[in-house]
Amino acid sequence: MKTWFSRMLVTSLLGSVLLAAPALAAPPTGSWVFDSTPDMPGFTRLIVAESKGVYTGTVTSHWYGDLPLKDVYIDGDRMTFHLSNGNIRVPEYPITLTGTGDHIHMSGRLWDAEFDLTAHMATPAEIKALDFPAFPLPPLRSVAATAPAPTPPMGWSSWNKFATDIDDKTVRQIADALVSSGLRDAGYIYVNIDDGWQGMRDKNGVLQPNAKFPDMKALGDYVHRRGLKLGIYTSPGPKSCAGYEGSYGHVEQDAKTYASWGIDYLKYDLCSGEAFYHTSQTVKAVYQEMGEALKATGRPILYSLCEYGRFDVGSWGRDVGGSLWRTTGDIEDTYATMTKIGFEKNGVPNHTGPGGWNDPDMLEVGNEGMSTDEYRTHITLWSMMAAPLMLGNDVRQMTPETVSLLTNKEVIAVDQDRFGAQGLPIKKDGDIEIWTKRLKDGSTAVALFNRGDAAADPAILWRDLGLAPKTIRNLWTRSDLKIDRGYAFAIPKHGAVLLRITQ
Ligand code: GLA
C-alpha cells in the first residue's frame, strides 16, 4: 500500500504547495473559527485560500501564532497537511480537513495534543478579531549583564525533581535544607523556581503567581534572610514549556514584577516562542529584549538563556546580557543522557569563561536514576567543563553519599576556578577518556573517565599527557599520590577519577 508520503506529489520546504490532481469535489477554502479548542495548542481560526490549484493557509494558535499549512495534499474534498511548531525534535503528524462551506472538521495531532475539532465559517471581522498580536523586536545592540558571573553560577532548581509540582512551602523547606546541609556554604546560593509557578494576569496585565505561591515577595524575603537568592522562570512565547502564561507582549512589565518581588535570577526559556522566533536574528533580538528589560529594572538579575543551544548561542549570549546559556536539550536522570550531553554536546568551549558559561543543564545527582559512580562522573564532568552547578534533587532528604558528592570543596574549586576554562578531552583509549583543564594557579585538573560497562585499571604515564607532576592530589579520595612516572587507577564501570596536578 502506498504511504501518504509517497502519494504526495508536490511539497515545498516553505510549505503550502499542492499537486494539481483532478479532484471529484472542491477542497475547502475560506475562513473559519473553531467552535472549541484544547488548551494546547489553543487553535482559534483557520484560513485556506486557493490560487491556480495551489492551496495556502494558516491555522492560528494561542501557543504558536499563525502556523502555515505545510505539505498540503488534496484528495477530493479532503485536505491533509502538516503544521510545525518550530521544534525539529517533534515529529510532524498529518492533519486532516474535511467538509466544505459553513462547517468543517479538522483532526490530527500537533506535538502532544491530539484534536478532533469543528469550525464554522466566519465573517472578516470575526477573523480579524482573532489576529495573533505582533510585537516589534528591538534592533540588535549590546546589553551589559546586570549580575555578572565571574564563576559558573551555583544553586538549586525545582525542575528536575519536582517539575510543575512545586509550591511556596517546598521552596522554603528547600532553602532551609540548603543551609542546614552545608550546601549553601559550599556555594549553592540560587534557589530557582522553574516552570509551574505562574498564574493569570490581572486587569492591568500584571502576572500573578498561581495559588501555590501566595506571596512571592514574602518568599523572596524568606530566601534572602537565609543568605540565598531567588530565581524565577518565564518564556518569551505566549506559553511556557509546561503551558503556563509566558511573557509574550509583557516583557518589560514582567521584568518589573520580578524585580518588585526581589528576584535575583531569571531563566528565559524559548518554549512556544520557537514557533515564530526561528531565525538567529529574531532569537537574539528576543533574548536581548528581556536583557534590556531586566537592566531597566535597576535590580541586578542574573540572566540565564534557555534556547537549547540554537544559533551558536555562546557566540552572542554575553551580548544580550546573558551570564549562562543552555547548550543542549533537556537532561534526564540516566547515564546515557547525562553522558551524551556532557561528553558530546556542550557547545563551543571557547565561548565559556568569566562572565558567560556554557550550560549543559541542571544536575541530576541524588535523583536515584544513576549509581553513585555515575553521579561522581556527572559532577566530575560538569566541574571539568566549568558548567553552572544547579542542583536538581530534593535536598531535604539526601543520602550521605549525595551530600559528600555535592559538597566536596576541592572538586567544586575545579568547577569554580577563576581562570574559567572549559576542560577538554586530550586522549581517548577504548572506553577510557582523559580530560585536562588549566587552572588559574597554573595547576592542571585531570579527569579520567571509564565509559565502559566493566571496571578498568588504566595505567597512565604522566609524560604521555604532557605533564611532569610535582604534586598530585586525588580530589575524590582527598589524598595525595606518590610521585612516580605514572600510576594505575582502578576505575569502576561508568566511574571517574579527578586529580589536581602541580608541575
Ligand atoms: C524546558 C527546559 C527545562 C524546563 C522545562 C520547564 O524543557 O529546557 O529545563 O525548564 O522546559 O517546562
Query: What are the residue ranges of helices labelled H in 330-386?
Result: 335-339, 372-384
Cα Rg for the chain, rounded, in angstroms?
A: 26
> What is the distance in A from the centroid of ligand 1 to the CA of 237?
13
Per the CB < 8 A criterion, the answer to whether 415 and 152 are in contact is yes
Helix/strand/coil for 151: coil
pLDDT digits (tens, 9 = 90+) for 360-400: 999 999 999 999 999 999 999 999 999 999 999 999 999 99
Q: Is 330 a catalytic residue?
A: yes
Per the CB < 8 A criterion, the answer to whether 279 and 317 are in contact is no
Q: 13: pLDDT confidence band, cut at 50, 70 and 90?
A: very low
Q: 2: pLDDT confidence band, cut at 50, 70 and 90?
A: very low
Helix/strand/coil for 424: strand
Question: Which DSSP helix (H) or strand (E) runs through 268?
Answer: strand 265-269
User: Which 8-state DSSP code applies to residue 321?
Assistant: T
The whole-number pLDDT of residue 175 equals 99
Grid coordinates belonging to 159: 525542575
User: Which 8-state DSSP code applies to residue 126?
Assistant: H
Terminal CA-CA length for the chain: 69
Average predicted confidence (pLDDT) for the chain: 94
> What is the distance in A from the centroid of ligand 1 to the CA of 261?
22
Helices (H) and strands (E) in the chain, counts: 12, 27
Q: Is 269 a catalytic residue?
A: yes
Which protein residues touch ligand 1 with a CB less than 6 Å away? 159, 194-195, 240-242, 269, 306, 330
Q: Point out the catalytic residue in the list 77, 176, 319, 330.
A: 330
Rounded average pLDDT over 206-214: 98
Q: What are phi and psi of 464, to 5 degrees?
A: -65, -20
Q: 187: pLDDT confidence band, cut at 50, 70 and 90?
A: very high
Q: Of 266, 179, 291, 171, which Cα lies nearest the Cα of 220?
A: 171
Grid coordinates belonging to 144: 551589559
Rounded average pLDDT over 192-218: 98
Ligand 1 atom showing the smallest separation from residue 240 Cα = 12
> What is the distance in A from the centroid of ligand 1 to the CA of 322?
17
Distance CA 498, CA 262 (A): 38
Helix/strand/coil for 47: strand
Distance CA 62, CA 43 (A): 6
Per the CB < 8 A criterion, the answer to whether 374 and 335 are in contact is yes
Q: Is the pLDDT of residue 3 over 50?
A: no
pTM of the model: 0.93
Percent with pLDDT over 90 in the chain: 91
